Chains A and B, each alone.
Chain A
Amino acid sequence: MAKDVPPRWDRKMQQRLARGEAAALGEVYDRFAPLVHSLAHRVLGDDKAADGVTREVFAHIWEHPETYDPRQSPLRTWIADVTHRLAVQRLRDREEGHREEAQRDPGEPPAHEELERTVRHASVAARADYIVHSMPLPLRRALELAYFQRRDYRQTAADLGVTEDEARRRLRLGLQLLATAHDTGTPPGCGGAV
């Protein structure tokens, strides 16, 4: 996972983008392109479409950096929002096209429900990303050790220099927070319904 960055980085980045600094665009791409591409891929299900959304998202960031407000949300969240919005837009456009064809050629079942399900899953994923990146750092570190580094909770406790009780508490609390991504309703500013 990306290393932690102070909001200062977000602010400076916005200023650099607004100033028209091409190097800043490269840095923003390097940091967020994997997130953008994977969120878009989750909604659209194919590489080419995800590439297209990635291009649109960075074009938006580059052309309209002033629409990001660092006081409202981290840059990461804003970029995830823009991605979600553009990806869902593209998905709806695609389905619209399919429906028009289907009307000319009856027999094609409406894909509407599936579309809504895809959008819902993508929203949950976007919320999960938001939660992981905004939860208290000690919780996130514990989850990273247990999940990505495959440490058991005793090793996690030793790595973090905390008691085993505390490690168990962090793992449980971290997952409890993450589980709220499944709840309906959208936390402010995080990849919700469009």
Chain B
Amino acid sequence: MSGAEEYRADLGERRERRIPMPRASVEGGGFPPPGRPGPGEDAVAPLDLPHDVLKSLLGAWALAACSAAETATVEHHLGDCGGCADEARRLREAVGLLHQPESLDLDPALRTRVLRSCLDRRPPRIPVPEWAEPYDAETARLDALLQDFGDAEWHAPVRLRWFEDDAQAGRRTTVAGVIAHLLSVDGLIAAALGLEDPLADLTSPPGPAARTEAFWRSTPSPPTRAVRAPWREQSHGLVRTVSFTGGSAGGLAVSYGDFELPLHDAMLERAFGCWVHAEDIAVAVDYPYRPPSPRHLHKMIDLAARLLPGALAERRRAGLSAPPGGTRHLVPAGAPGRSLRLEIEGAAGGEWLIPLDSPAAAGSADHEVAHVALDGVEFCHLAAGHLSPEEAAAGQLGDREAIRDVLFATASLSRM
């Protein structure tokens, strides 16, 4: 049977073709393929096209990338021309091979399992420092989330939220804008390590927010998906570089403008920022997104707990909390001081004694004046400024003013 005969036979009684129909939309949604006449539209008049043009249209036809009139003309021709019918079938089958096999969602936990099993079998000569593992894992999770995003997702609106002067603050951007924000702030560490700073061409503004605004301003149009590659390249570069500089560089100071963090804490802080903003993105596009692994989440909570005494002192300086009263006493550096017991529940949890009156004091169970119990993820949402201190469902016992101060100080750790 010639190709043309077979094609006609394929049309059969019910006009069904064995040559697969032009593909449906990639997502299989209710998108009619372009250029296909729908039922009742069969009357598109065939065009008068020479044979070489008809032949040249076969690829576009197989991909459903012709006009309705061209489609009808090609299909009419396939009934008469064996050579073209053979090729059409072949090309249409080839289209089936194009479908993106990699759009399957991989379980992010698989990455951890696979890498660990590899490293057990052959211990690395240049390991990723333990304090950089959360950043490595969180950037990989976010990148996997971005994998299948189309333009609609990249431009979905996102509202960044944080706490400033004891009130919720916010800034509107898009998914791509969030990645630009991560690129800009991660760039603080890149700059500290001597890597290329993505903002090198701009008059270097100091802090995370100012850098982000400068980056957003530096492009004539809003950020697009094109921002993903430089962000990912930089995050891979950071993990790689801190692996080489190893433990010795962990204490290197990274400047955030008005404060500094040692490199190992900065990497943890960026892991935290990456997770928080990945969650912002997931909410914006209505995807599920899970918290970090308990081991990593614990490290992030520990960082917040260690930053709290400084944040409490900052609140006092800013006049946001009462000056030391009769019950408070200043203690010499390193001596035990009035403390709040922060109890974090869940697999990532633990207990921290937060010295209340001075960052220099040591937390002390003997001087415990209050006890707060909070879920780990909830505590992180509070520290991210996504949850107000009043809303935090904290179990509370003891000095209510101390508890209020600590909850507000936790929220004050957040920034854009």
- A residues near B (Cβ < 8 Å) are 1, 3, 19-27, 29-30, 33-35, 37-39, 41-42, 51, 54-55, 58-59, 62-63, 124-125, 128-129, 132, 143, 146-148, 150-154, 156, 165, 167-176, 178-179, 181-182
User: CA–CA, A147 to B33, complex, Å?
Assistant: 11
Contact assessment for A153 and B66 in the assembled complex, using a CB-CB cutoff below 8 Å = yes
> Do A151 and B240 form a contact, CB below 8 Å, given A23-B128, A132-B98?
no
Q: Tell me, rounded to whole Å, the shortest Cβ–Cβ distance linking B150 to chain A.
A: 9
Contact assessment for B65 and A21 in the assembled complex, using a CB-CB cutoff below 8 Å = no
- Residue in B closest to A39 when the chains form the complex, CB atoms: B101
Number of A-B residue pairs having CB atoms within 8 Å of each other in the complex: 176
Contact assessment for B239 and A168 in the assembled complex, using a CB-CB cutoff below 8 Å = no
Is residue B44 contacting chain A, with contact meaning CB distance below 8 A?
Answer: no
Contact assessment for B243 and A34 in the assembled complex, using a CB-CB cutoff below 8 Å = no
Q: Tell me, rounded to whole Å, the shortest Cβ–Cβ distance linking A75 to chain B.
A: 16
Contact assessment for A153 and B65 in the assembled complex, using a CB-CB cutoff below 8 Å = yes
User: CA–CA, A143 to B232, complex, Å?
Assistant: 25
Q: Tell me, rounded to whole Å, the shortest Cβ–Cβ distance linking A65 to chain B.
A: 10
Contact assessment for B106 and A34 in the assembled complex, using a CB-CB cutoff below 8 Å = yes
> Do A22 and B126 form a contact, CB below 8 Å, given A33-B114, A173-B59?
yes
Secondary structure at the A interface, as helix, strand, loop or mixed, is helix
B-side interface residues, number (CB < 8 Å)? 58
Q: Tell me, rounded to whole Å, the shortest Cβ–Cβ distance linking A55 to chain B.
A: 5
Q: Tell me, rounded to whole Å, the shortest Cβ–Cβ distance linking B118 to chain A.
A: 4
Q: Tell me, rounded to whole Å, the shortest Cβ–Cβ distance linking B129 to chain A.
A: 10
Q: Tell me, rounded to whole Å, the shortest Cβ–Cβ distance linking A46 to chain B.
A: 12
By Cβ-Cβ distance, the 9 closest A-B pairs, closest first, are A172-B59, A20-B125, A171-B59, A34-B102, A128-B97, A22-B124, A179-B94, A38-B101, A153-B60
Is residue B121 contacting chain A, with contact meaning CB distance below 8 A?
Answer: yes
Contact assessment for A23 and B240 in the assembled complex, using a CB-CB cutoff below 8 Å = yes
Q: A132-B98, A178-B97 are known; give 9 further A-B pairs, CB within 8 A.
A: A3-B229, A25-B115, A26-B115, A147-B95, A152-B67, A175-B59, A175-B94, A176-B90, A176-B91
Which residues of B lie under 8 Å from residue A152 when comparing CB positions?
34-35, 60, 65-67
> Do A22 and B243 form a contact, CB below 8 Å, given A34-B147, A172-B91?
yes
Contact assessment for A23 and B236 in the assembled complex, using a CB-CB cutoff below 8 Å = yes
Interface string of B48-81 (1 = CB under 8 A from A): 0000000111111011011100000000000000
Contact assessment for B125 and A147 in the assembled complex, using a CB-CB cutoff below 8 Å = no
Which residues of A lie under 8 Å from residue B56 when comparing CB positions?
165, 168-169, 172
Which residues of A lie under 8 Å from residue B95 when comparing CB positions?
147, 175
Which residues of B lie under 8 Å from residue A58 when comparing CB positions?
114-115, 118
- Residue in A closest to B104 when the chains form the complex, CB atoms: A38
Is residue B136 contacting chain A, with contact meaning CB distance below 8 A?
Answer: yes
Contact assessment for A179 and B93 in the assembled complex, using a CB-CB cutoff below 8 Å = yes
Which residues of B lie under 8 Å from residue A42 when comparing CB positions?
101
User: CA–CA, A71 to B183, complex, Å?
Assistant: 35
Which residues of B lie under 8 Å from residue A23 when comparing CB positions?
126, 128, 136, 236, 239-240, 243
Contact assessment for B97 and A125 in the assembled complex, using a CB-CB cutoff below 8 Å = yes
Is residue B110 contacting chain A, with contact meaning CB distance below 8 A?
Answer: yes
Q: Tell me, rounded to whole Å, the shortest Cβ–Cβ distance linking A9 to chain B.
A: 11
User: CA–CA, A8 to B103, complex, Å?
Assistant: 26
> Do A171 and B101 form a contact, CB below 8 Å, given A21-B126, A23-B126?
no
- Among the listed B97, B104, B115, B239, which residue makes an inter-chain contact with A29, where contact means beta carbons less than 8 Å apart? B115
Q: Tell me, rounded to whole Å, the shortest Cβ–Cβ distance linking B125 to chain A.
A: 3
> Do A179 and B117 form a contact, CB below 8 Å, given A26-B136, A30-B140, A168-B57?
no
- Among the listed B65, B94, B114, B147, which residue makes an inter-chain contact with A146, where contact means beta carbons less than 8 Å apart? B65
- Residue in B closest to A24 when the chains form the complex, CB atoms: B240
Contact assessment for A19 and B121 in the assembled complex, using a CB-CB cutoff below 8 Å = no
Contact assessment for B98 and A178 in the assembled complex, using a CB-CB cutoff below 8 Å = yes
Contact assessment for B101 and A63 in the assembled complex, using a CB-CB cutoff below 8 Å = no
Can you sample 19 A-B contacts with CB below 8 Å?
A1-B100, A22-B115, A22-B126, A26-B239, A29-B115, A29-B140, A33-B111, A51-B107, A54-B114, A125-B97, A125-B101, A129-B101, A152-B34, A167-B60, A168-B60, A175-B59, A175-B62, A176-B87, A179-B91
Within 8 A of A (CB), among B110-156: 110-111, 113-115, 117-119, 121-128, 136, 140, 143, 147
> Do A148 and B118 form a contact, CB below 8 Å, given A21-B240, A171-B60?
no
- Among the listed B26, B65, B90, B236, which residue makes an inter-chain contact with A171, where contact means beta carbons less than 8 Å apart? B65
Is residue B25 contacting chain A, with contact meaning CB distance below 8 A?
Answer: yes
- Residue in A closest to B119 when the chains form the complex, CB atoms: A22
Which residues of B lie under 8 Å from residue A39 when comparing CB positions?
101
Which residues of B lie under 8 Å from residue A181 when comparing CB positions?
94, 97
> Do A150 and B236 form a contact, CB below 8 Å, given A42-B101, A175-B59?
no
Which residues of B lie under 8 Å from residue A55 when comparing CB positions?
113-114, 117-118
Q: Tell me, rounded to whole Å, the shortest Cβ–Cβ distance linking B133 to chain A.
A: 10
Which residues of A lie under 8 Å from residue B57 when comparing CB positions?
168
- Among the listed B90, B110, B236, which residue makes an inter-chain contact with A54, where contact means beta carbons less than 8 Å apart? B110
Which residues of A lie under 8 Å from residue B106 when comparing CB positions?
33-34, 37
User: CA–CA, A21 to B125, complex, Å?
Assistant: 6
Contact assessment for B104 and A37 in the assembled complex, using a CB-CB cutoff below 8 Å = yes
Contact assessment for B126 and A147 in the assembled complex, using a CB-CB cutoff below 8 Å = no
Contact assessment for A146 and B63 in the assembled complex, using a CB-CB cutoff below 8 Å = yes
User: CA–CA, A151 to B91, complex, Å?
Assistant: 18
Which residues of A lie under 8 Å from residue B98 when comparing CB positions?
128, 132, 143, 147, 178
